[in-house]
Structure 1
Amino acid sequence: MKSLVISWLLRIVIAVILMQTLYFKFTGAAESIYIFNTLVMEPCGRISSGVLELVASILILIPRATLLEELLGFGVMNGALLSPVFVLGIELQGDCGTLFIMALITFLCCSVLVYQNRNKTPNLLKLKL
C-alpha cells in the first residue's frame, strides 16, 4: 500500500512538472525561445520536446503505460539536464536554476519509478540492481 501511494505521488509530481512547462513551450515564451535558439533547435526542438512531454505527462497517469512513460521521461529529462550542464548553464536568465532543478526532480522521480517497476519489465529491459 505504501509503495502504491509513493508511486502515485511520484507520477503526479512528474505530470505536474511536465504539464506546467508545456505552456511555455507551446506559447513561445521568451525563455523557451532563448533556450532553443541557443541550442540551435528553434522552433522544431521546442515544439517536438513539448509534444514528447505532453505524451509523457498523459502516459504517466495510465498505470499500464508507466514503463513507457518512465523511459520517455528519462530521454526528455536527459536533454533537459545535459543541455544546461554543457551548453546553457544551470541558471537561465536569472531563474536561479529553477528549470534545472525541476528537470532533476522529474528525472529522479522517473528513476525511482523505474526501480520500483523493474520486475514488471520485459526481460530485455530488466535492470540488475
Structure 2
Amino acid sequence: LEFWARWAHRALWHASLWHMHESHHRAREGPFELNDVFAITNAVPAIALLSYGFFHRGLLPGLCFGAGLGITLFGMAYMFVHDGLVHRRFPVGPIANVPYFQRVAAAHQIHHMDKFEGVPYGLFMGP
C-alpha cells in the first residue's frame, strides 16, 4: 500500500486534488483539515471489503477480507506515524524515540519544504 500512497500523493493530491490537500501544507486552525477527507475515501473501500469478506464464505470473500484488513492496518499505521508523530496532532508515546520513526518524520518534514518541490511523497519507505 505504500506504493499506492506514494503514487496517489504525487499524482493526485499534489495535482488535481491540490485544492483539498493544500490544507495539509498550511498551518491548521482547529483539530481538522480538509485533507482529512482522504482518510474517509480510503476507509470506504476497506469497510466494503471487510463487510463482504465477513458476511460471505469462500476464497474471494476471504481475499476481500484480507485486503480490507490490510488497508485498515496501513491506514492506522499511517495515521499514527503521520498525524501523531510527524505532525503532532496527538501524542504517540515511546514510538517518538524509535530511530526509524525519527528518520521517517525527518523525511516527511522535507516534503513540506518548498525548495524540494514536494519530494519525497512516501512515508514508510522514505525518499
Give the TM-score band, short-chain normalised.
Answer: 0.3 to 0.5
| Structure with greater helix percent | 1
Structure whose alpha-carbon radius of gyration is higher: 2
User: 1 or 2 for the larger relative contact order (CA 8 Å, sep ≥6)?
Assistant: 1
TM-score by length of 2: 0.36
